A = this chain, B = another copy of it.
Amino acid sequence: MNLESERAALMQTSRDWARTAASGDLEQTLSFWSDDAIVMPPGQSAVVGKAAIREFLQRTSTIPGFSITWEPEQATVANDADLGFMVERNRVTSAEATGAIREQFGKAVTVWRKDSMGRWKCVVDTWNENPTEVAIPL
């Protein structure tokens, strides 16, 4: 098992996912999660399973000025390369009542499981805010 190439594959998957999310393609964006994935957004209940995550994405996309992007910082995989996780940093935007765009920087943890086809799928996805003063622009 080449763990270095597995780590690189995870990092690339995160970057591909961010590009897909930015494109607005909902079904392609959803395809990066496993069917049983758990999304844990700040201030909201956990969102469990693909159908609930689809609704969550649809709801989120209606937020004025909404955008999200992220960049992986590090990836770790298990010896058997069946499980892995990444630490990522992200940037979320939304429009204030004045129309001004507000930026919120955060940090994320994603856990990944390899499926029967050998593809890494995200099984847990959570994030929270950084203080503004340590925001790292992407």
- The smallest C-beta distance from A43 to any residue of chain B, in angstroms, reads 5
Q: A45's contact among B78, B82, B87, B131, by CB below 8 Å, is which?
A: B131
Residue A117, interface by CB 8 Å: no
Q: Mark A75-107, 1 if CB is under 8 A from B, else 0.
A: 011111011110100000000000000000001
When the two chains form their complex, are residues A109 and B109 in contact, meaning their CB atoms are under 8 A apart? yes
Identify the interface centre among A38, A109, A131: most chain B CB within 10 Å of its CB. A109
Specify which chain B residues have a CB less than 8 angstroms from the CB of A43 in the assembled complex: 128-131
Interface size class of A (residues with CB under 8 A): 20 to 34
CB closest residue in chain B, given A1: B80
Tell me the interface secondary structure of chain A in the complex.
strand
Q: Mark A108-126, 1 if CB is under 8 A from B, else 0.
A: 0101010000000001101
Specify which chain B residues have a CB less than 8 angstroms from the CB of A85 in the assembled complex: 83, 85, 111, 124
Specify which chain B residues have a CB less than 8 angstroms from the CB of A127 in the assembled complex: 128
- The smallest C-beta distance from A76 to any residue of chain B, in angstroms, reads 7
Specify which chain B residues have a CB less than 8 angstroms from the CB of A68 in the assembled complex: none
Q: A83's contact among B42, B78, B126, B128, by CB below 8 Å, is which?
A: B78
Specify which chain B residues have a CB less than 8 angstroms from the CB of A109 in the assembled complex: 40, 109, 111, 124, 126
